Amino acid sequence: MLKKDFIDDEKIWEEINGGKNSTKEEIREIFKKSEQKIRLEPEETAKLLHIEDEELLEEMYELANKIKIDVYGKRIVFFAPLYVGNKCINNCIYCGFRRDNKSIERRTLTMEELRKEAKIMIDAGHKRSIMVYGEHPAYDADFMAETIRQVYSVKSNNGELRRVNINAAPLDIEGYKKLNEAGIGTFQIFQETYHHETYKKIHPEGDRKSDYQWRLYGLDRAIKAGIDDVGIGVLFGLYDWKFEIMGLLHHAIHLEQNFNGVGPHTISFPRIEPALDTPYTQNPEYKVSNKDFKKVIAIIRLSVPYTGMILTARESPEVRNEMIPIGISQIDAGSRVGIGGYNEYESGSVPDKEQFQLGDLRSLDEVIRDICKMGFIPSFCTAGYRAGRTGEKFMSLCKPGLVHNFCMPNAILTFKEYLLDYASEETKAMGEIAIKNNLADLTPERKKDVEIKIKLIESGERDVYI
């Protein structure tokens, strides 16, 4: 008999049902706690799940945006995925890369191809990437560590990828140590669904991924191995969205309780999208509407105020533009989710055998322009990681809302690099306005520091940060 884990399905449903019929006064008291950037308890989040009153919903959306700005400032961090290989030993019924999908061409980038993909990303202006791998013996810790080193080795003109995160299958502690030595940033593991019975149904028995607990405790092992920034997530649409939010919260609490208050550095919440020859994705039973998706984002922001929240290019430009102002801190842009996708796209073809369908195919430059129009400032900052602001130190700055004192200045500095090295003329014009507006929000002392460093960048220096 399996030992119980920290996700108790019955208890979670009791919490969800116990949150029904809350008064406006009760909800607003929870809002007050969130505004103080205090992580909510499950019983409090459960009450937010049932908000239907339009007035309260608008208050929640406005508060979510306020909390995000209080913690991180008006910056939106940019990154792009880099798919390394799609071989997989699992047969997850919702995934285009599943073992039995014969419509997918199985590929693993050679090291030369990997460097070429990295160069294309760099030449578009990217500084941060998340590398993605299928679960397969060929993609062991040694292989992943070597791919990290290869990507860090690529330099092109003034550019380089300064931060490599990973989204991959769970490893043992020794495997994680190898990645840590190679200079990994954040290690992400999405539980996919926290609901035990659903997890069992969609992950065929006998597959490596069918082991719920091996996956659930994967980030515990990563932290024990020295990787102090970890990311959690679920694939919304596999089970009831209310349950999944509670699962994410319980996971955050578990990490905090076991690792000196260090919760998830990021939370991701992709929605299931159609995938080639993958019938399950065409009409999922628990499909999340745009209206409910907006609630999902706001509730996560209020429940875990300190976490980075990632909204991916799975979503359409219209959806992203609507959702970003309610608590999002990170997005990808100019993304390709096929193996060798950047090279193929640059050659004039749009890959049709990817893991799922992207909703936003705009270029990085186009998305940056729209972010500026929305009043935010794009950021390519990686300074915190290299200055040691990770793990406990990051949480000590983030939880009280102090990390924006670093995030905003460094967002301005990295954005200035982008404008000088990669931006179109139209984006340059908009970007300079965004920099001017955001400089005005800094303290006089910090503004002076940033202006000095901007002059260094204009004179040719790069990777200038606070």
Whole-model pTM: value is: 0.95
Domain boundaries, the chain: 69-384, 401-458
At position 13, the amino acid (one-letter code) is: W
Lowest mean pLDDT among 213-222, 246-255, 436-445: 436-445
337 pLDDT above the threshold of 90: no
Query: What is the per-residue pLDDT across 279-308, written as a single tens digit (0 to 9) for each?
Result: 999 889 999 999 999 999 999 999 999 999
pLDDT of the residue at 403: 85
Average pLDDT, the chain: 94
Q: Which two tokens stand for residue 135?
A: 């679960």
Q: Is 463 left (phi over 0), alpha (psi -120 to 50) or beta?
A: left
User: Alpha-carbon distance 187 to 224, whole Å?
Assistant: 13
pLDDT of the residue at 348: 66
Region 37-44 average pLDDT: 98
Region 261-290 average pLDDT: 93
Query: What is the per-residue pLDDT across 113-160, written as a single tens digit (0 to 9) for each?
Result: 999 999 999 999 999 999 999 999 999 999 999 999 999 999 999 999
Percentage of residues in the chain having pLDDT higher than 70: 98
User: Alpha-carbon distance 452 to 460, whole Å?
Assistant: 13
Per CATH, the homologous superfamily of domain 69-384 is Aldolase class I (3.20.20.70)
Q: Which stretches within 225-262 are classed as H helix?
A: 241-258
Query: What is the per-residue pLDDT across 163-210, written as a single tens digit (0 to 9) for each?
Result: 999 999 999 999 999 999 999 999 999 999 999 999 999 999 999 999
pLDDT of the residue at 349: 61
pLDDT of the residue at 2: 61
Region 223-231 average pLDDT: 96
Percentage of residues in the chain having pLDDT higher than 90: 86
User: Who wins on pLDDT, 39 or 389?
Assistant: 39
Burial class of residue 349 (count of CB atoms within 10 Å of its CB; 0-12, 13-18, 19+)? exposed
355 pLDDT above the threshold of 60: no
pLDDT of the residue at 238: 97
pLDDT of the residue at 427: 97
Burial class of residue 276 (count of CB atoms within 10 Å of its CB; 0-12, 13-18, 19+)? middle
441 pLDDT above the threshold of 80: yes
354 pLDDT above the threshold of 60: no
pLDDT of the residue at 398: 87
CB atoms within 10 A of CB 263: 23
User: Who wins on pLDDT, 1 or 18?
Assistant: 18
1 pLDDT above the threshold of 70: no
User: Alpha-carbon distance 328 to 322, whole Å?
Assistant: 11
Burial class of residue 449 (count of CB atoms within 10 Å of its CB; 0-12, 13-18, 19+)? middle
pLDDT of the residue at 356: 61
User: Alpha-carbon distance 255 to 52, whole Å?
Assistant: 31
User: Alpha-carbon distance 81 to 266, whole Å?
Assistant: 15
At position 457, the amino acid (one-letter code) is: I
